[in-house]
Amino acid sequence: MNIKITGSGSYIPAIVEKNENFHGHEFLNADGSVINAPNTVIVEKFKAITGIAERRYAKKEYNTSNLAAFAAKKALLDAKIDRETLDYIIVAHNYGDVNYNSEQSDTVPSIATRVKQILGIKNPKCVGYDLMFGCPGWIEGVIQANAFIKSGIANTCLVIGAETLSRVIDKHDRDSMIYSDGAGAVVLESTNNEGGIIAHESATHAYDEAHFIYFGETNKHEANDKRRYIKMYGRKIYEFAIVNVPQAMKSCLDKSGVDIKDVKKILIHQANEKMDEAIVKRFYKLYDMEMPEGVMPMTIGKLGNSSVATVPTLYDMILKGDLENQAINNGDIIIFASVGAGMNINAIVYQY
């Protein structure tokens, strides 16, 4: 029995937020002091580091649960299954439903419950729950679905990664330009066909690293703003990721028994173009190899960092032919990998 992805879908929000739209923002340092550079320079440096030229924001009337349901409907259609036969709906996110201009996130009922209702699923044995695992949440959901199906307690699982980070960003923080909204979903089933999930690896580094990504106050300290916003220690995350993620990927690949030369694609969380490139280069260096050209498809330049949605969205876009010069063919070995708040890391070696 092999556990395979039998359908995929994604939702790319309609609102395009270009870098130049940030030229009028009042960016401040974390201590509230003024940054000694014009916004044009700040934005230009940001683009050079992250590779992001634009990102997508959800329409005001949509929330995380809506985006998740949009992607889920596409995945179910792609898999050609009856939604009433689903055993699990696993939704990875980090902030729940945050209404536009709201000061509070909403996770009761769970996002998975909301998605199940939107999909109109009546079967009470279809269990929905949320998974909060930072940016690696969708990959962790796939790992959990794999375990459910292998153990015999499930036959079919829907795993979704959805986020509306535009609702939890501090407009006075330069890092706010990284984040975006989106959703990606897959259906996993047991099959007698070759391929599927070969190996997986997960880790949580929390001793010193737990609060590298956190919820904090606005950089504009004099503002009477009680909200909390997504914050991060970018340099610490970079230094952590380029050491630990390649090692986790190697551990996963070695466990799989697959030769590094047989890996066709690495679908890594679209966090930061320079960081992702450094991670993959170091991964290949562990095998005394140079990083092959075209092995790391990227969407961050136009879609930004939508957290749990980046990897499933990337996967779906390649399969649907929406990413130029990128393809995944039958029998191809690919690696899914991510790093994020926790600090959590995970990877999957998968044969398409």
For the domain that residue 60 is a member of, what is the CATH number? 3.40.47.10
Mean pLDDT for the stretch of residues 226-241: 92
Q: Across 172-221, where does the E strand assignment appear?
A: 181-191, 196-204, 213-216
Which residues make Cβ contacts (< 8 Å) with residue 198, sequence separation at least 6? 256, 257, 258, 333, 349, 350, 351
CA angle, 253 as apex, 252 and 254 as ends, to 5°? 95
pLDDT at 277: 96
Q: Are residues 183 and 213 in the same domain?
A: no
End position of a domain, from candidates 193, 216, 243: 193
Residue 262, amino acid = D
CA distance 163 to 183: 7
> Which uninterrupted H or E stretch holds 54?
strand 54-57
Q: Are residues 207 and 188 in the same domain?
A: no
Please compute Rg for the chain using Cα positions: 20
pLDDT tens-digit map of 201-225: 999 999 999 999 999 999 888 877 8
Q: Are residues 171 and 223 in the same domain?
A: no
Write phi, then psi, for 160 (nearest 5 degrees): -125, 140
- Tokens standing for residue 63: 């929330």
- Tokens standing for residue 322: 């929406």
Q: Are residues 51 and 185 in the same domain?
A: yes
Q: Are residues 235 and 337 in the same domain?
A: yes
What is the percent of the chain where pLDDT is above 70? 100
Q: Are residues 48 and 182 in the same domain?
A: yes
CA neighbours within 13 Å on the CB side: how many for 35?
A: 18
Q: Are residues 177 and 49 in the same domain?
A: yes
End position of a domain, from candidates 164, 193, 222: 193
Total residues found in the chain within this entry: 352
pLDDT tens-digit map of 142-170: 999 999 999 999 999 999 999 999 999 99
Mean pLDDT of the chain: 95
Q: What are the CA-CA distances from residue 294 to residues 50, 260, 273, 314, 321 (Å)?
A: 18, 15, 14, 14, 15
- Tokens standing for residue 341: 């708040």
Number of Cβ atoms within 10 Å of the Cβ of 208 = 10
Q: Give the range of the structural domain holding residue 233, as residue numbers without chain letter.
A: 198-351
Tally the domains of the chain: 2
SS3 100: coil
Q: Are residues 122 and 32 in the same domain?
A: yes
- Tokens standing for residue 17: 């937020």
Nearest to 147 by CA among 138, 137, 132, 157: 157
pLDDT tens-digit map of 275-290: 999 999 999 999 999 9
CA neighbours within 13 Å on the CB side: how many for 275?
A: 26
End position of a domain, from candidates 193, 209, 235: 193
Mean pLDDT for the stretch of residues 79-84: 96
pLDDT score of 340 more than 80: yes
Q: Which residue is it, tokens 């706010």?
A: 176
Question: Which residues sit opposite 214 in a β-bridge?
Answer: 231
Q: Which residue is it, tokens 């551990």?
A: 251
pTM above 0.75, yes or no: yes
Q: Are residues 231 and 148 in the same domain?
A: no
Q: Are residues 58 and 157 in the same domain?
A: yes
Q: Are residues 180 and 205 in the same domain?
A: no
Q: Are residues 101 and 135 in the same domain?
A: yes
